[in-house]
Amino acid sequence: LQWLRNPGPQHEKRTLFGDMVCFLFITPLATISGWLCLRGAVDHLHFSSRLEAVGLIALTVALFTIYLFWTLVSFRYHCRLYNEWRRTNQRVILLIPMPANVPSNQQSLLGLPFLKRNSKETIV
């Protein structure tokens, strides 16, 4: 989520959003198309020519091969972008130790707010 909030390149975020929308539309369409092709192949095996059944099976294999190839390439691309972002956008917080002689009620007056540590932050 931090990557999506980062005011970095908008092109990468648009690409991720577009791929997610395509994935949500293409997955049910590929599933239904594959099922219909296989159902037609079974019907052609029982009632008609085997050549049409083989053609429908080949169409189903091609459809799922293209779908899986697009899914894997898209996923790999977005993982690579995310890993590159993680490598170049590390968040580091510098903690300054409090002097021992300052009372705790005066710490807030000095403008030193209580710092909450996140597990993903590096403390230096």
- pLDDT tens profile 112-123: 455 555 555 555
Query: Which residues 6+ apart lie within 8 Å of 120 measured at CB?
Result: 91
Task: Give a yes or no: residue 97 inside a domain.
Answer: no
Task: Give a yes or no: residue 18 inside a domain.
Answer: yes
Mean pLDDT estimate for the chain: 79
Give me the mean pLDDT over the 97-113 stretch: 58
Task: Give a yes or no: residue 105 inside a domain.
Answer: no
Task: Give a yes or no: residue 73 inside a domain.
Answer: yes
pLDDT number for residue 109: 47
**Cα separation of 93 and 12, whole Å?**
27
Task: Give a yes or no: residue 39 inside a domain.
Answer: yes
Task: Give a yes or no: residue 59 inside a domain.
Answer: yes
Task: Give a yes or no: residue 107 inside a domain.
Answer: no
Task: Give a yes or no: residue 122 inside a domain.
Answer: no
Q: Is the pLDDT of residue 95 over 60?
A: yes
SS (H, E, C) 73-123: HHHHHHHHHHHHHHHHCCCEECCCCCCCCCCHHHHCCCCCCCCCCCCCCEE
- pLDDT tens profile 58-94: 999 999 999 999 999 999 998 998 888 788 877 777 7
Phi and psi at residue 56, in whole multiples of 5°? Answer: -70, -35
Q: For residue 65, what are the domain limits? A: 10-89
Number of domains forming the structure of the chain: 1
Q: pTM score, two decimals?
A: 0.62
Instruction: Please name which of 92, 37, 42, 39 lies closest in space to residue 60, comparing C-alpha atoms.
Output: 37
C-alpha separations of 5 from 10, 60, 74, 90 in Å:
11, 40, 21, 14
